[in-house]
Structure 1
Amino acid sequence: MTEFVLVAGAWLGSSAWDEVVPRLRAAGHGAHAVTLSGLAERRGEPVGRQTHVQDVVDEVERRGLRDVVLVGHSYSGIPVGQAAERIGDRLARVVFVDSEVPTDGASFADGWWQGRADMEATLAENDGFWPPLTAADCAGQGLTDQQIGLLVAGATPHPGATLTDPAALARPLGELPATYVKCLLDGPEPNATVAGLLASEHWSLVEMDTGHWPMFSRPHELAEILHRTADGS
């Protein structure tokens, strides 16, 4: 039985996967949605360097999971990508859902499209947190008004320390078995770093005709994609 460990992106907790987890379990898999430290129901917990990486590793080890598919969405691709190499032979595959990927020595803020300085200024203006997204931020992403309401209601301020924390990788990410899910409404092409990784024989690309939060907009389709990765496809 494949064990899926699912981690949502910035601002969101485990409830982001509420429409995906039951479908994976119905297909015979284990499915474990993780809330990272400092977010959602864990808001207020201390967060430092590598905290979110350790959160993912701890979930796998605490439950004694094997044949693990780690799923990282958006921001969480960075801690998930680091955790993947740290769980050793427990790992079956990594799935990056429209996500950032870790680069050794670089942080999420370093790759921010408006530049690290812009991200740092935002954090400084908001007591060290990244303010949660608004309904306007969700426009054009294939979401219904109800889905946008659920997404925004579940969002909490994101601890800035995790956004400026440099990643640490012991080996090239391209050596890990991985699937990258590109959500086309959020841009038709993966970024340059991901495009380079997709040249690896260990990586594959899947496209979804939806926006950046497919666990809300297309949960059934996303669950089916994840189910297929259990067979290595």
Structure 2
Amino acid sequence: MTETFVLVPGMWLGGWVWDAVAQRLRAAGDRAIPVTLAGVGERVDEGDADLEQHVADIVAAAEGSSNVVLVGHSYGGLPVTAAAARIPVSRVVYVDSGPLPDGTRQLDMGPPPESTGPVPPRPWEPADDPVLLAGLDDDALSLLRKRSTTHPYASVAQPLRRGGALNPPASLIASTFSLEQIAQMRAAGHPFFAAMGDDVVIRALPTGHWPMLSEPSRLASLLRA
């Protein structure tokens, strides 16, 4: 059965970051739709888009397709969670993200930005962040430095509101969290995994936080599986 993968990136990146994964999915006979969210990447000039706009971007990308699999990486897990509650999809895959509960903001996940303006991209220096940037070669790092853009502040400040009742099957591909760490965080009630039920399938893909660049073949295989 042919599936349609709607691929949603995290902060600062356009749909281009999924190119290598999309190529492999298409070669295997599936459809792949990389999404560039409003105010980011090639759409950086579209202003301070909020989280609801990003949900609308995902819904629009999936429109008219069948057997839709929504894939959300990092920040992309937030709008994907809301979109999956509003439109019929066959499943949802979180890549180093998770089905966060209503009321969660990306702003709560890390140090606050220095201002309420567009959030600047990270410097992409492995020496400063060896865990998250693990596995990225010089070409990938150069691409990230060249093509990453600011990210709209409104989208990281707006709380998640699912706004729907659909609850499709979900999977989690963990790259910077081990399966043991996830189990411990869930047991401790960590908000990152607070909305994840026991039916969520968890698969490990040990690498850095951007497996679509460091391990595109393995990530594509896990998505299809």
| Shared fold, TM over 0.5 | yes
The number of equivalent residue pairs is 213
Task: Tell me if the contact between 2:105 and 2:157 (Cα under 8 Å) persists in the aligned partners.
Answer: yes
Task: Give the C-alpha shift of residue 135 in structure 1.
Answer: 2.2
Q: Alignment partner for residue 150 of structure 2, among 157, 178, 197?
A: 157
Task: Give the C-alpha shift of residue 196 in structure 1.
Answer: 4.3
Structure 1 partner of 2:77: 77
> Any residues of structure 2 matched to 1:71-110 within 5 Å, and which?
71-88=71-88, 91-110=89-108
Task: Tell me if the contact between 1:3 and 1:66 (Cα under 8 Å) persists in the aligned partners.
Answer: yes
Q: % of aligned pairs identical?
A: 39
Specify the code of the residue in structure 2 equivalent to 1:161. Answer: A
Q: Alignment partner for residue 223 of structure 1, among 204, 220, 223?
A: 220
- 2-structure distance, mates of 1:213, 1:187: 18
Change (3 A) 1:51 1:42: same
Of 145-154 and 185-194, the range deviating more from structure 2 = 185-194
For the residue of structure 1 that corresponds to 2:201, the secondary structure is strand
Task: Give the C-alpha shift of residue 72 in structure 1.
Answer: 0.3
Structure 1 partner of 2:59: 57
For the residue of structure 1 that corresponds to 2:46, the secondary structure is coil
TM-score between the two structures when normalised by the length of structure 2: 0.86
Specify the code of the residue in structure 1 equivalent to 2:171. Answer: T
- 2-structure distance, mates of 1:188, 1:149: 33
Change (3 A) 1:87 1:185: closer
Structure 1 partner of 2:37: 36
TM-score between the two structures when normalised by the length of structure 1: 0.84
1:99-124, Cα deviation, whole Å (9 max, x unpaired) = 254321221113x233xxx33xx233
For the residue of structure 2 that corresponds to 1:50, the secondary structure is helix
Specify the code of the residue in structure 2 equivalent to 1:210. Answer: T
Task: Give the C-alpha shift of residue 142 in structure 1.
Answer: 1.6
Specify the code of the residue in structure 2 equivalent to 1:177. Answer: P
> Any residues of structure 2 matched to 1:1-233 within 5 Å, and which?
1-46=2-47, 47-61=49-63, 64-88=64-88, 91-110=89-108, 112-114=109-111, 118-119=112-113, 122-124=114-116, 128-136=117-125, 139-140=130-131, 141-170=134-163, 175-184=167-176, 189-190=181-182, 191=185, 192-201=190-199, 203-228=200-225
Moved over 6 A (4+): 185-188
- 1-structure distance, mates of 2:50, 2:194: 30
- 2-structure distance, mates of 1:170, 1:100: 17
Of 11-20 and 149-158, the range deviating more from structure 2 = 149-158
Specify the code of the residue in structure 1 equivalent to 2:124. Answer: A
Specify the code of the residue in structure 2 equivalent to 1:45. Answer: E
For structure 1, the residue ranges without an aligned partner over 5 or more in a row are: 229-233
Task: Tell me if the contact between 1:95 and 1:179 (Cα under 8 Å) persists in the aligned partners.
Answer: yes
